[in-house]
Structure 1
Amino acid sequence: MNVLKKIYVMVSLKLCNFVYRTYSCLGDKKPLLLLYTDSRGTEIDSPLKQRNPFYSYLKYFRDYKVDYKFCPYKFTSILDFLEFYDNSNKQYKAIVLHCGIVDFAPRPMSSYNQMLSLKFDYLERRGWLEYFENRTDFLDEYLGEKTLQFMSVEFVENELIPLLKEVDNLIYVGINPVLNCWDGNYWRKRPSCINQQLVQDSLMLQELGGVILSSWDDLKVKKFTVDNVHYNKLGLDQIGKDIMSRL
């Protein structure tokens, strides 16, 4: 993307956020809802749609004033949500957490180490750094590298879920299966062990409740996603409806 195009996208996104937030201020007496997502929170097929509130499922929360955070970091993790929540003094009527795939999906070690470097300070403050620096629970190789899930099942069960249980009125949005026979618009195959992510997802849903996407069959994955992971408009609409049924 050239410099002029980047500037155009940045200005457009700022304008869309300004318009949305100005409009939402008309509902100051509405209950406050937090929506915190990774890159799955909006459409991604155009830079103009990424992180754009008008290409999300925010329209389903008309009865709420929404504080939204769409993929604020390169590797937007549940860890980032916890840090944000710990530093917030707002009282939310409901919190929608649409993160987890970054934490649970197997990734090459080079990617794992890059993500680890970006979360270093928070992990050190939490006393978790030693665990993340001394992992040996590798999975299948991908692109010539060992793969590793950023969070093991044991970490999710023993460290993550107890913290999330302390968050009042939390709705977790789960993860759908990845099809081995279909890539959508993704330019290469994903790791063969990619659906190992559903083990942690299942544990999260079991302990926290939430929106179950792991039940999507092959037809729904193709209908609602563009690449097995990110959603098209139909998929976002479906998730918005599913969340509303739990509010």
Structure 2
Amino acid sequence: MFTDSRGYEVTNLWNKRNPFSSYVGDLIKEYNVEYHICEYASTTVIDFLYEYHKQINKGKSYDFVIMHIGLVDFSPRPKNMAINIIKTKSHKIKYMNWPLTLFEEHVNIPISKEIYNGEQLTNLYTHDF
């Protein structure tokens, strides 16, 4: 199980950062679950694939994999923020032998004409990408 903060039940303050109060808790009770919940400032598909491939390269195997992320990846954000996220995750992109230049080029493409705090909006990548 790899999830961003949606892996936490957030409707009650006393559940803060407690995966057992969310749907993850039900899975843990029924199955042998290895879970990674919101381990990064911006949990992305890049993080998931990096962690997954590291485990596979160590010889692990899984019957099922649940990835509950994507909000950071596809939501509009100021261009500078997207550039910083890609820079932070560049070692993971390189680990998976993906061309970093494709990511760097994409974050420089505005996704709308809207301006937020003086910056164009972009995202980390498109669904097709």
| TM-score normalised over the length of structure 2 | 0.80
For 1:1-247, list aligned pairs within 5 A: 35-44=1-10, 46=13, 49-50=16-17, 52-61=18-27, 62-88=29-55, 89-125=59-95, 126-135=97-106, 136-138=108-110, 139=112, 140-155=114-129
The percentage of aligned residue pairs carrying the same residue is: 33
In the aligned structure 2, how far is the partner of 1:137 from the partner of 1:122?
22
User: Counterparts of 1:92 and 1:64 in 2: how far apart (Å)?
Assistant: 12
Q: CA deviation at 1:121?
A: 1.1
Q: Hey, what's the Cα distance between the residues in 1 that align with 2:67 and 2:121?
A: 25
Flag the 1:79–1:47 CA change in 2: closer, same or farther, 3 A.
farther
What CA distance in whole angstroms lies between the structure 2 residues aligned with 1:47 and 1:114?
A: 33
Q: Which amino acid aligns with 1:115?
A: I
Q: Note if contact 1:49-1:55 (Cα within 8 Å) is conserved in structure 2.
A: no
User: Does the aligned pair in 1 maintain the 2:9–2:15 contact within 8 Å?
Assistant: no
- Report the Cα offset of residue 56 of structure 1: 1.9
Residues 110 and 55 (structure 1), Cα distance of their counterparts in 2 relative to 1, 3 Å cut: farther
What SS does structure 2 have at the residue aligned with 1:65? Answer: coil
Residues 1:153 and 1:54: Cα distance change in structure 2 (over 3 Å) = closer
Aligned pairs, number = 120
Q: Deviations over 1:162-189 (max 9, x none)?
A: xxxxxxxxxxxxxxxxxxxxxxxxxxxx
So what's the TM-score if we normalise by structure 1?
A: 0.45
Residue 100 of structure 1: CA displacement?
A: 0.8
Per-residue CA distance 1:199-229 (angstroms, 9 max, x = gap):
xxxxxxxxxxxxxxxxxxxxxxxxxxxxxxx
Structure 1: segments with no counterpart, 5+ residues: 1-34, 156-247
Deviation at 1:144, TM superposition (A): 2.1
Structure 2 unmatched ranges of 5 or more: none
Q: Which amino acid aligns with 2:85?
A: M
Any runs of at least 4 consecutive aligned residues in structure 1 with deviations exceeding 6 A, and if so which?
Answer: none
> Tell me, what secondary structure is at the counterpart of 1:127?
coil
Closer, same or farther: CA 47–151 of 1 in aligned 2, 3 Å: farther
Structure 1 residues 47 and 142: alpha-carbon distance in aligned structure 2, compared to 1, 3 A threshold? farther
What letter matches 2:100 in structure 1?
L
- Provide the aligned C-alpha RMSD in A: 2.0
Instruction: Give the AA of the match of 1:85.
Output: Y
